[in-house]
Amino acid sequence: MKPKTIVHLAWFLSFWTGFISLSEEIIWVRLISFAYESTPRAFAVVLTAFLVGIALGAIVGKRLSEKQRATPLTAAWLLLLAGTLLLLLPNLIAWARVQPGSIFLMLVMITAGAALKGTLFPIVHHLGSSLSQSLGQSVSRTYFSNILGSTLGPLVTGLILLDAFPSGTSLQLLGLLCLAVSIPALSVALRSERRGLNHAAWVYGLCALALLPWVHPTGDNLTRRLAMAPDGAPIRMLIGNRHGIIHSVQGPHDDIVFGGNVYDGRTNTDLAINDNLIDRAYLLYGLHPNPRRVLVIGLSSGAWTRLITSIPGVQSIDVVEINPGYLQMIRSYPHLAPLLDDPRLRLHIDDGRRWLRRDHGQFDLIVMNTTFHWRANATNLLSREMMQMIRQALAPGGVFAFNATDSRDAFYTATQVFPFTYRFRSFVYTADHDLAAQLPHLRDRIRQFQLDGQPLLPDTPVYEQALASLAGTQFTRIEQVVAESPRPLMTVTDQNMITEFRFGRGTEE
């Protein structure tokens, strides 16, 4: 018969092993997704390495149990090793990212961490089993503790920890938690194994000396080292929360904004500069003569929405943005910050598709400056089902514009929902009426843009040239794209997710 202390220790270790293990997986998914530009394969890569690690660890744990090594001291050692690895991970990840075959090195780290905690699983079951009662009952209680920890871990980490701390710091906090959880196991070992005292003194002493210089409890060094910065430009802002990580990089004329480490736009609204192809936003008023209600799905830097506020006659602008961090970023740019104080603006922190499912009336203009079509969850915005929802939300004579990011399939999908669909640069403009008939009025309408009472296009040669270039816009038709495509185009649906997977990109591209 095992002492109750051992059984209770097994439940305790089982809970925290599940908590820490699944929490670590959540952080790894975030880091791999960030480091490799939010490709949908990031989750599959992490899950594969994680499950391999658990399987390998379970084999080792089984053998230790067969050799009578499933003791509290062994559990403490495994927790100490797992905690040490977690404390070192931020620096190891930053080093690995710049090495050849970086994704392989990342997978080794994920597998090693999962294996250490996977080894614990058979051991805690061995410690928690009791022959004095039903074996199934004793094992099920240990298993229940693990399931409870595995459920709470992702919730606490995903909703609270990552909202308060950078990813690297979160890993190190989990490492400190591992060290703390090992203390009860060492305490129990001291009562049954004299050598446990020596092990505890040596291990804790070495951990304190070797690891404390590497711990940065409030820093975001790892995220900064992984963040995209073209030509080594300085990172101006870096904001992380439970919704993701966004940052801006200083550019020659304006700043470049990244969401999830992927280009997300610039802070420019000037047609003459046009380094973010803001002319696509100027074109909106040229295609709709009198937009009253406007819906913007995705705020990002706010440059496009700021420009929409300058369209004459706009009465209300609903903006749906899932990451509130962009609001903090916009506040830091004086030429964009007034957008958030515009009385016509109604900001909704929500998922665009979920928000659309609720009836909010109809809009004259719906704008979706979509992220790259190959990113995870891009199908939610580019699928036929999403476009059907948008068509229902358009008022008679309304216009829908979205960024296809050069995806031929996204352009083709729009033609399957709307009768009149055209492309200018990477943007698709679509409606139930012929938009091409509006192009002759483009120059006169764009001249009416005013921001804070001042014309956006001064009467200077530079702006006249920019306006003349935009006035000469030539739409691309789907027939031309079909003719030039090396393969038959396909309709994007919620089921096939072709822009993300079949015609997406891998982690190393």
Structure tokens, 301: 């830097």
The answer for residues whose C-beta is within 8 angstroms of residue 213's C-beta and 6 or more apart is none
70 and 158 together in one domain: yes
213 and 280 together in one domain: no
Half-sphere exposure of 505 (CA within 13 A, CB side): 14
Query: How far is CA 261 from each of CA 183, 220, 240, 386, rounded to the nearest angstrom?
Result: 39, 14, 11, 25
* Interval 274-302 mean pLDDT: 94
**335 assigned to some structural domain:** yes
319 and 428 together in one domain: yes
Res. 69 pLDDT band, cuts 50 70 90: confident
* Interval 209-232 mean pLDDT: 71
113 and 201 together in one domain: yes
> Per the structure, how many domains does the chain have?
2
- pLDDT score, position 129: 75
149 and 37 together in one domain: yes
**99 assigned to some structural domain:** yes
**236 assigned to some structural domain:** no
Residue 235, φ and ψ in degrees, nearest 5: -80, 120
Q: What is the DSSP letter of 233?
A: P
Question: For 2-42, how does the pLDDT look when each residue is reduced to its tens digit (9 = 90+)?
Answer: 577 888 899 999 999 999 999 999 999 999 999 998 888 89
Structure tokens, 38: 């939010």
- pLDDT score, position 194: 57
Query: How far is CA 417 from each of CA 65, 93, 189, 414, 432, rounded to the nearest angstrom?
Result: 61, 45, 68, 5, 9
* CATH code, domain carrying 147: 1.20.1250.20
Domain boundary (191, 218, 245) is at 218
**495 assigned to some structural domain:** no
119 and 211 together in one domain: yes
Q: What burial class does residue 479 get, using C-beta atoms within 10 Å of its C-beta: 0-12 exposed, 13-18 middle, 19+ buried?
A: exposed
Pick 506 or 396 by higher pLDDT: 396
Pick 338 or 137 by higher pLDDT: 338
In this prediction, what percent of the chain has a pLDDT beyond 90? 70
**257 assigned to some structural domain:** no
**242 assigned to some structural domain:** no
Q: Please determine, for residue 208, whether its predicted confidence score (pLDDT) is greater than 60.
A: no
- pLDDT score, position 508: 44
491-504: buried (b, 16+ CB within 10 Å) or exposed (e) per residue?
bbbeebbbbbbebb
Res. 84 pLDDT band, cuts 50 70 90: confident
* Interval 369-380 mean pLDDT: 94
**Whether the Cβ atoms of residue 146 and residue 19 lie closer than 8 Å to each other:** no
Q: Please determine, for residue 88, whether its predicted confidence score (pLDDT) is greater than 60.
A: yes
- pLDDT score, position 507: 47
Question: For 146-197, how does the pLDDT look when each residue is reduced to its tens digit (9 = 90+)?
Answer: 999 999 999 999 999 999 999 999 999 999 899 899 888 888 877 766 555 5
The answer for residues whose C-beta is within 8 angstroms of residue 92's C-beta and 6 or more apart is 109
Q: Please determine, for residue 206, whether its predicted confidence score (pLDDT) is greater than 80.
A: no
Q: Please determine, for residue 1, whether its predicted confidence score (pLDDT) is greater than 50.
A: no
Q: Please determine, for residue 427, whether its predicted confidence score (pLDDT) is greater than 50.
A: yes
- pLDDT score, position 134: 64
- pLDDT score, position 203: 60
**Whether the Cβ atoms of residue 192 and residue 184 lie closer than 8 Å to each other:** no
* Interval 465-490 mean pLDDT: 94
Question: For 310-361, how does the pLDDT look when each residue is reduced to its tens digit (9 = 90+)?
Answer: 999 999 999 999 999 999 999 999 999 999 999 999 999 999 999 999 989 9
206 and 303 together in one domain: no
- pLDDT score, position 155: 96
How many Å apart are CA 244 and CA 391, to the nearest integer?
29
Domain of residue 105, residue span: 4-218
206 and 286 together in one domain: no
Sign of CA dihedral 231, 232, 236, 242: positive
Question: ∠ at Cα 365 (364, 370), nearest 5°?
Answer: 155
* Interval 475-480 mean pLDDT: 96
92 and 204 together in one domain: yes
Q: Please determine, for residue 363, whether its predicted confidence score (pLDDT) is greater than 80.
A: yes
176 and 28 together in one domain: yes
53 and 135 together in one domain: yes
The answer for residues whose C-beta is within 8 angstroms of residue 15's C-beta and 6 or more apart is 145, 146, 148, 149
**400 assigned to some structural domain:** yes
How many Å apart are CA 481 and CA 106, to the nearest integer?
39
The answer for residues whose C-beta is within 8 angstroms of residue 183's C-beta and 6 or more apart is none
**112 assigned to some structural domain:** yes
**Whether the Cβ atoms of residue 75 and residue 123 lie closer than 8 Å to each other:** yes
212 and 357 together in one domain: no
- pLDDT score, position 473: 86
* CATH code, domain carrying 317: 3.40.50.150
Which H or E run contains 265? strand 262-266
- pLDDT score, position 356: 95
